[in-house]
Structure formats: C-alpha cells, structure tokens
Chain A
Amino acid sequence: MESLADKKPGTYVVKEVCGEYKKLYDLRIVPGTRITVVYNERGPMIVRVGNSKLAIGRDLARLIKVVK
C-alpha cells in the first residue's frame, strides 16, 4: 500500500493509519475517509478532508496509507 506522502494532487481513500498518532482521528483521518492532496512539492503537504484544509509534515503523511 502506498503512503499519502508520495501522492500527486488528487483524491484518495484512507486505508490505514499506522503508528500511535491520535490527533489524526480527531481531524477525521480514519480508514474510509476521502482525502484530497492539494499540493505536494516543497514545504509541508496541503490536503483537504471534507471542507477543512490541513498542512501535514511529510513524515506524518507517510503513516497514512491510501488507495486511489
């Protein structure tokens, strides 16, 4: 399974959240959620979950496994 960190802009579905980072759940990043990569070049990644926009560090994004 590929991680969110390697994804180009587009919409994906979260399959699994690895590691022990609970705050992701509070921000609705749980298996089954649709997540949209807005920007992934330099600096933090910008993603959208529903109508909220988030900036995520790349190492954290690696813990989020997604499928198209």
Chain B
Amino acid sequence: MEDKKIVALVGQPNVGKTTIFNELTGMTQRVGNWPGVTVEKKEGTMAYKGVKFHVIDLPGIYSLKADSLDQKIARDFIIENKDAIIVDVIDTNNLNRNLYLTLQLIELGRSPILCLNFIDEAEKYGISVDSKKLSERLGGLPVVKTSGRYKIGIEDLKEAIFNYKPIHCEIRYSELLEDTVREIVEKLEKYTLPTEGKFKDVPKRWLAISFLEGDPEVVELFKKNEDLFKEVKKIKEELERKIRHDAESYVAEERYKKVDEILKGIWKEKIIFDDIDRILLHPVYGIAIFAIVMYIVYTVVIGLGDVFIEYIEMFFEYLGGYLGGIIPEPYRGVVVEGIIGGVGTVLTFFPYVAFMMLSLSLLESVGYLARVSALFHNIMAKIGLSGGSTIPLLISFGCNVPGILATRTIPDPLRRLATILVTPLVPCSARFVVIGFMASAFFASHASLFAMGIIAISLLLLVLVSYVVGKYIVKGKPEEPIFELPPFRLPDWNYILKRAWAYTKHFLIRAGTIILAGSILFYYLLHYPSEENCYGMLLGKMVEPITELMGIDWRGALALLAGIIAKELVVSTMEIAYNGKIVEALTPLQAFVLTLVTVLYIPCLATIASLFFETGKSIKWTLFAVSYNLILATLVGIVVYNIGRLLGFV
C-alpha cells in the first residue's frame, strides 16, 4: 500500500465523479468511513501499465472552504496528502462554475488533472470547449475530456494519471487583490505562527486569501498570534474600505472574473431550457406526482418482491426439513428452529429491501430525488425540518443508518440535528420484516391495511415529534433553502446497481452475522436449562410488568429485548419463543400492539451508534433520542391496547 501513489478525485456535486471512480477502479472498491466521522469513504485500486494506484473518491464539494463537514474532510485530505495526484472532475456544461474549485486547488499549490466530464451531453447541446487552450491558460495543467457513462476518454485519463508530474502553476487576480495578499504574506513572514498542525506546509498566499475569505479555521490560526491578527485585520479593513463592500464576496467575484477571462473564446455556453420543473415543483401538482411515483414504486416493490419471496420460503422449508432429517438430535433444535427459523425468516424479506433500494437509486440517478427536496421544503419547514431532510428520511425507509449519514448534506446544523433525532421514527426495512411477518400471520386478508396503519401511525408521530423538537428542543429559524436541480438523465444502470448493492449488502451481512448470532443466543436463552424454566423467561419476566400493561407477555417482552440488537430479531425470537405457533398465542389486538411497539421503541444498536457519532459524539442527544422513543412506544402501546379493549377487541 505504501508504495502506491494516491489519486484523489475532487469535484462539485452532480459532476459524475462516482461514475468516473467506478470506471477507474472497477470491482476493487471498498466503502469505509473517514476516521472519526461516519462519512462514507470510497477507495479502490487502479492498475495501468503495470503500475498500481490507490484511488480515493472525496466527498462532492462546491468550494474548499471549511464550511461543511464534507468540505472540511475533502480539504483536510488534500492538505495532508501533498503528493496525491488530484483529479478535478468537472461538469463541462457548468465549466464556468466548476473552475472556481479548480482555482482554489491551484491557490493551495496543487496542479490538478482536469477531467471534463459529461462531454457527450455537452456536445449534444452544442457546448464546445478547446481543451488545449484551456490547458495553456491554466499554466499547462493536463486536461482530459471524458464521459464516465459511455466510457469515453477513460484510457486518456488513466494515461494522464500515469504520466502525471506536478508543475508549478499560479493564477493571478486583480492588482488590488494581489497587493493585499502580498501585504498579508509579508506579515506572515514577519510573525511566527504555531508550526505544527496541518497548515504548516500550505502556501502563505493561500493562507492570505483564505483569511480574506473569512475561512473559520484560518482565522482561528491567525488569532494565535495577537500582533499578527491585529495587523492583518487592518489590511483587510483597508481593502474593504477601498472596494466599499465585504472582502469575502470580493474574493469570490475575483475568482469568477478570472474564470470568465480564462474561458473567453474557448468555451461556448448554451442555455438549455426545459419547463417540466415548474410542474414537478408545483405545491399541488408536484405533490400529486410524488404520490403517484411513490405508489408505483411500492406496488412494483411489493409485486416483484412477492414473486421471489415465495421461492425463498419454499427453499427454507425444504432446507429445514432436509437438515432436520440428517442432523443429530442435540443440535437439531438450534439449527432447524434457531438458525433456519430465525435467519431464514429474516432473509425471506430480502427481495423487498433489494427492490426498494433499487427504486430509490433509480429515482436518484434520473435526478428526481433532487426535485423532491425542493418540493417538500415548505412542508418540512413547517414541522421544524428542512427540504434537505426529505432524502435522508426516504433513505431511512431502507435503513436508518444510511439515512442518518445522509443528513450531513443538510447545511444548517440545527435542522440536521433535528432530522437525526427524528430519523428512528421512520420504519426501516428491518421493521418491515416485523410488520410483514405479523401481517401475514394475523391479518392475512387485510395485510396492506394493517401495514399502512402501522406506517401511518409512526409517520404521524414523526410529524408530532419533529414539531415538538423543532419548537422546544432544537430551536432556531430554519435556514433558507437553495437546491441545485441537476438535468434529467437517462438511468445509468451501472451506477444504480452498484449503489443499490452497497445498501442491500448490509442487510445480507447483518443476516449472516448479528441475526445469526442473535438467533443462536436467543434459542439457548429459551431452551436452557429447560424449556419450562429458561433464562429467557427470567429476562422476559423482568420487563413483563411494563409490557403486561400493553397485553404483551414475557415471550413478547424477550423478543423486544432481542430487537434492540437488531429489529429483525423480534421476529426470529418470537418464532423460537412461541415455537412457531404464534397465531394461537396472541390475539389480533396483542399482535397489533406488539408490532406498533416494535416499530417505535428503542432504535437498534447500529442506529444508536450512528446517532452518537453524527451528533458529534453527544451522549445527551443520543440518550434523548433513545429515551423519547422508548417513552413514546410505551405510552402508545398502553393507550392503544386499552382503547382496543374498550372497543371490544380482545
């Protein structure tokens, strides 16, 4: 690993960076986390002409300022890896905005390879760019034209990476800005700053420009030397007096001016018009279209899922029968009832999860999900969230963990916190396993009504809790929204399948690890020392006094305890605890309450862990989320059970 050169992909959101990454690394990629935070880190290996490169896909960022978590991660990586080969992926259609980031990379002393992506689309729209001249005007940076989707220019890009040599490249702005920067650099040479830390090797010119831009980390650094800070502050104020407005927007303006100067005569812009967004974002038609899209998605997911589920069920039944015949007596129970009963029941629901993630990835790939954020902003703002909360909440239907991770794209920290806190109320695929199992066991003729009822109650509670959290707990005015609406594109199946697989893989891994271990553990808890007097009963009975108020006996209570590890374990534990005869053991009312409580109570361990990390390791917020869920579930369980009994259900 050490001798491999590092290649880092940098680029603004919606430039097709991930597709380029997939093309470069093929099947070698791994997804992990950046150290200390749970932001996804994608890595892979590229081999070209016998040389191996270690390729890293940095988060999509608009600029190098340390404003958001993503931008900080990308920037820190670029600063800390001085020898990395930087590939700056650019949407050719938006070249005049994307070069802003390129200029910042150059200010930081890097000489990136420019990868002009979506070249196929640009040519179709009649947008042309003279890449040779562009390279000249940028001091000789390599420029490659690509289309990740149609595999155009990928070999050229690999060749450029292979031949890469860092060059000295400097872009100069207006005289006034350059003079001011020089003055600050002089001060930096006169005074000393703490030399350790990540900024020790960065160009002084970059520090000067970042200070003028008000970069929070650089301002903090300068404050460490009081005399220096006083003097540079004076220089900044002097500049602001001359230009009669703030230095921050001045620096941004200067960069764009430079971009236009560079592109003059070599890039032809063409405005592409389409009208469909005025319907898709319309508060009435837009929501009607969203409802139809979601209805189609759910119908397809359930329809296709059912086809596969039948076969999976048949397979496990056959497997259980077969193994039951050949396995010696002492192990027969744990294998047939424990492992096949537990893991098998959970795996049966795999097709639903897979088709759900596939549909979401498809909607994302064609550009519809970006519209959904904008469409729902006003509604979300009313309940204390923001438009950016919509996608994390939609993803949470698959699994709360990636849902919580997706909140990092919400720029407003308070709205982000509020979204994280309410995410556990979105019923995830693991809970759909419980809902689906109970529906087919107890309410076979009204299965979809039952499922809809449970989902409706939890979403209603989500609205209520968001409102209360936004009003009394995470106060503050919601940030004003601005969303980029990427152009509609035909689905890129390669990308969709990879993305859907990344999500569904977790489901399979969980079934093979935590669900398997949990099924075995709870099988033994329920059968030792003896079936009539087991440890599980002791555990269940400890919680029974509370669950009894909701009509749930110790077996159900034990299943709920198991569900804290992973919600699917509620089903597998009940299968074992009730010996496969759950229908005779519970009344429909009890089944309804038990399902409802399972959906609402303590989030699973993986979700609790993400809550902890994504709230900045806050024990306070993690405890808050866990306890409100538990209290809510208990109250709802007791109320629903007792109302049900009053209404004459048993």
Give the B-binding residues of A (Cβ under 8 A): 16-17, 21-28, 30-33, 36, 38-39, 41-44, 46, 48-57, 59-60
Contact = CB atoms under 8 A, between A and B. Distances in A.
Residue of B245, B253, B411, B485 contacting most chain A CB atoms (<10 Å): B485
Contacts of B483: 44, 54-56
A28 B277 contact: no
Given A53-B487, A60-B480, A31 B253 contact: yes
Nearest to A55: B374
Contacts of B296: none
A22 B67 contact: yes
B93 A55 contact: no
10 contacts: A22-B65, A36-B271, A41-B278, A44-B281, A46-B281, A46-B485, A54-B484, A55-B277, A55-B374, A60-B480
B430 to A, nearest CB: 33
A15 B277 CA distance: 27
B382 to A, nearest CB: 13
A25 B249 contact: yes
B249 A57 contact: no
Interface string B481-520: 1111111000000000000000000000000000000000
Interface of B: 62-63, 65, 67, 93-94, 96-97, 100, 127, 245, 248-249, 252-253, 256-257, 269-273, 275, 277-278, 281-284, 286, 371, 374-375, 377-378, 411, 480-487
A31 B487 contact: no
Nearest to A46: B277
A60 B283 contact: no
B62 A50 contact: no
B139 to A, nearest CB: 23
B380 to A, nearest CB: 11
Contacts of B482: 23-24, 27, 54-57, 60
A53 B269 contact: no
Contact of B271 (A24, A39, A48): A48
A51 B374 CA distance: 18
Query: Which of B245, B374, B377 is most buried by chain A, counting CB atoms within 10 A of its CB?
Result: B374
A59 B487 CA distance: 25
A35 B481 CA distance: 17
A55 B97 contact: no
B374 A59 contact: no
A36 B378 CA distance: 23
A57 B484 contact: no
A13 B97 CA distance: 16
Contacts of B374: 43-44, 55
Given A27-B62, A28-B100, A46 B484 contact: no
A52 B481 contact: no
A36 B269 CA distance: 14
A41 B486 CA distance: 21
Which interface residue of A27, A32, A41 has the most chain B CB atoms within 10 A?
A: A27
Contact of A51 (B93, B249, B275, B277): B93
Given A39-B278, A42-B282, A52 B253 contact: no
A25 B252 contact: yes
B97 A21 contact: no
A60 B281 CA distance: 17
B269 A51 contact: yes
B250 to A, nearest CB: 9
A67 to B, nearest CB: 16
Contact of A42 (B248, B257, B283, B484): B283
Cβ-closest 9 pairs across A and B: A60-B480, A26-B62, A55-B374, A25-B252, A39-B278, A53-B485, A51-B93, A57-B481, A55-B483
